[in-house]
């Protein structure tokens, strides 16, 4: 067994600056010589998972990891357990990370769980070690183009309840300004559909020239990618890029921050390069043109979606929309913006509810709902399609029914504009 060598130099020179021994340790791997590192090496040899080896156990991640507040998981612990010889591929740790990105924000060594998790999970999926409920979501997505297993032909059925024109590109046969990428939960989930209807009416009220792909749209696949099914993601990306390429439009507007992330960072690799905005970013500059006549005289707090905020830096657009609603009193929770909590749905968490429940004391969504109640909010405003159902379930399970409502920002705007 080759033991790793501790690096504790008397004097290190970093970028031309002399650093004395007692703190150059901060820049070099911490003492790990007492351990057989073969298991760690197995993990860090996976493409994408290299940075796990950079961890020097400072624990900054543990302080901010949302999962650590409800369970015994944090990136530091992942490193430590791997260092001690526990295989990550076989560990429940592998499925607890929601890829919320809070650890990477504070990590001095850039241990990147956003890359480590998908890479190692891919290995686990290949070895047949992924939880069954997650595989069902994969199978549904591969077969039906959505993780819910809903009929692909009914993807645009929600449009009927919009009661305003929602042009489907294949029938529209004309260029549009905005191609609205609706995504799965907004197409199929009852509460997701409510937000879609609200947004469709807002677009119509604003006179936006828009269209949707309808049944030609499939899941953007970003969360499946984070959950370890890269091949599935690629298949979906190729499909969506091909469908989108058939039509003329100026920009894409997405309902889902996860789709936003895919269009910003991943789809260009598959030839899909279009300007893309989250719908809150699209609406924010147009807010003066929306006739917000009906006041919402409530205390409202906003949950920053991980993939809109921390992943992609947008914190203001949703807040500007909320502030424009007459009577609305926006209160911030302790965990907000960069430090926002996570709903637990990202990185495949949406499809691992039962699995995660076994390893946590409460759901992340429940923790978040309790925080919103603590800050006196009447309404928890959200803007990610995973969240309405997750938080509404959490409101019930924490016994807060009647105390806290969960509303998508699109719903709040449409309500204030008397469109719903």
Partner 1 sequence: MGSILVVTEILGGNISDTSRELLSKARELSQTLGAEVVAVGFGSESAQALARIDADRAIAVTGQAVEQYLPLAYERSLLQVMEQESPQLTMIANTTMGLDLGAGVAATRGISLAAYCNGLAVEGDEIIAQSQVFAGKLLAEAVLPSEGAVVTILPGSFPASEVEGHPTVTTVDAVSAPGMSLIQVLEPEKGDVDITRADILVSVGRGIQDPENLTLADELADAIGGVVSCSRPVVDAGWLPKARQVGKSGQTVKPKLYLALGISGAPEHLQGMKDADLIIAANTDESASIMDVAHYGTTVDILDLMPALTERLRGE
Partner 2 sequence: MRILVLSKSVPDLVEELALDEDSGELLHDDMTYVPSEWDDHALEEALLLKDEVGAEVTVLAVDTGDVDNMLFTALAKGADHAVKLTGDFDLATSNRKRAQAIANYLRDNPFDLVLSGVQAIDDIDGQIPAMVAGLLEWPHASVVTEVSIQGDQIHFRQEYGGGLQAELAAQTPLVLGIQAARKPPRYASVAKVRQMMKSSTVDEVDASADAVPELEIRRFFKPVAAGHAEMIEGEPDEVADRIITILKERKLVRG
Residues in contact with partner 2 by the rule CB under 8 A: 122, 125-126, 128, 130, 132, 135, 138-139, 142-144, 149-153, 229-232, 234-235
Order of strands, edge to edge, in the sheet holding 299-302? 329-331, 299-302, 379-382, 405-408
Q: Which does 133 bind (CB under 5 to 8 A by kind): partner 1, partner 2, none?
A: partner 1
Residue 348's alpha-carbon distances to 53, 74, 147, 226, 365, in angstroms, are: 24, 17, 10, 7, 14
- Residue 133 CB, nearest approach to partner 1 (Å): 5
Q: Pick between residue 138 and residue 181 the one whose CB is nearest to partner 2.
A: 138
- Residue 392 CB, nearest approach to partner 2 (Å): 11
Residue 310's alpha-carbon distances to 11, 161, 243, 320, 353, in angstroms, are: 37, 34, 30, 18, 23
Q: At what angle do helices 409-416 and 316-323 cross, to 10 degrees?
A: 20
- Residue 160 CB, nearest approach to partner 2 (Å): 16
Q: Pick between residue 133 and residue 332 the one whose CB is nearest to partner 1.
A: 133
Q: Which does 242 bind (CB under 5 to 8 A by kind): partner 2, partner 1, none?
A: none
How far apart are the C-alpha atoms of 121 and 34, rounded to whole Å? 28
Q: Are 313 and 335 in contact (CB under 8 A)?
A: no
> Which residues would be at the binding site for partner 1 (CB under 8 A)?
132-133, 136, 354-355, 357-358
Q: Which does 231 bind (CB under 5 to 8 A by kind): partner 2, partner 1, none?
A: partner 2
Q: Pick between residue 223 and residue 389 the one whose CB is nearest to partner 1.
A: 389
3-state secondary structure of 179: strand
How far apart are the C-alpha atoms of 110 and 218, rounded to whole Å? 33
Q: Which does 230 bind (CB under 5 to 8 A by kind): partner 2, partner 1, none?
A: partner 2
- Residue 168 CB, nearest approach to partner 1 (Å): 25
Angle subtended at Cα 276 by Cα 231 and Cα 198, rounded to the nearest 5 degrees:
100
- Residue 139 CB, nearest approach to partner 1 (Å): 13
DSSP 8-state class, residue 294: S
Q: Pick between residue 133 and residue 157 the one whose CB is nearest to partner 1.
A: 133
- Residue 97 CB, nearest approach to partner 1 (Å): 19
């Amino acid at each position: 067994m080759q033991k790793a060598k501790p690096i504790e130099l008397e004097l290190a020179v970093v970028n031309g600056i002399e650093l004395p021994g007692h703190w150059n340790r901060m820049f070099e791997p911490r003492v790990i010589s007492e351990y057989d590192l073969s298991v760690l090496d197995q993990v860090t040899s996976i493409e994408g998972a290299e940075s796990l080896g950079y961890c020097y156990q400072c624990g900054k991640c543990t302080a901010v990891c949302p999962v650590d507040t409800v369970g015994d998981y944090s990136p530091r612990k992942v490193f430590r357990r791997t260092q001690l010889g526990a295989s990550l591929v076989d560990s429940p740790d592998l499925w607890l990370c929601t890829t919320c990105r809070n650890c990477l924000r504070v990590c001095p060594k850039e241990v990147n769980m956003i890359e480590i998790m998908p890479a190692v999970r891919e290995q686990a999926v290949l070895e047949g070690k992924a939880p069954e409920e997650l595989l069902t979501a994969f199978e549904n997505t591969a077969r039906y183009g959505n993780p819910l297993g809903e009929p692909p032909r009914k993807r645009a059925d929600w449009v009927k309840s919009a009661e305003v024109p929602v042009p489907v590109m294949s029938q529209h046969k004309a260029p549009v300004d905005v191609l609205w990428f609706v995504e799965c939960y907004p197409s199929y989930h009852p509460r997701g559909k409510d937000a879609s209807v609200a947004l469709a009416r807002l677009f119509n009220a604003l006179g936006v020239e828009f269209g949707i792909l309808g049944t030609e749209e499939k899941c953007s696949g970003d969360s499946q990618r984070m959950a370890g099914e890269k091949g599935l993601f690629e298949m979906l990306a190729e499909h969506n890029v091909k469908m989108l390429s058939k039509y003329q439009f100026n920009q894409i507007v997405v309902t889902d921050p996860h789709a936003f992330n895919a269009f910003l960072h991943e789809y260009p690799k598959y030839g899909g390069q279009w300007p893309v905005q989250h719908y809150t970013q699209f609406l924010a500059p147009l807010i003066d043109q929306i006739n917000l006549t009906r006041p919402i005289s409530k205390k409202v707090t906003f949950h920053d979606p991980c993939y809109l905020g921390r992943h992609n830096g947008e914190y203001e657009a949703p807040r500007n929309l909320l502030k424009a609603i007459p009577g609305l009193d926006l209160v911030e929770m302790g965990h907000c913006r960069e430090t926002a909590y996570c709903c637990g749905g990202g990185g495949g968490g949406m499809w691992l509810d039962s699995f995660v429940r076994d390893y946590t004391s409460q759901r992340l969504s429940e923790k978040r709902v309790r925080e919103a109640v603590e800050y006196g909010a009447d309404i928890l405003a959200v803007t990610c399609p995973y969240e309405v159902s997750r938080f509404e379930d959490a409101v019930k399970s924490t016994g807060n029914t009647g105390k806290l409502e969960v509303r998508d920002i699109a719903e709040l705007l449409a309500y204030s504009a008397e469109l719903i």
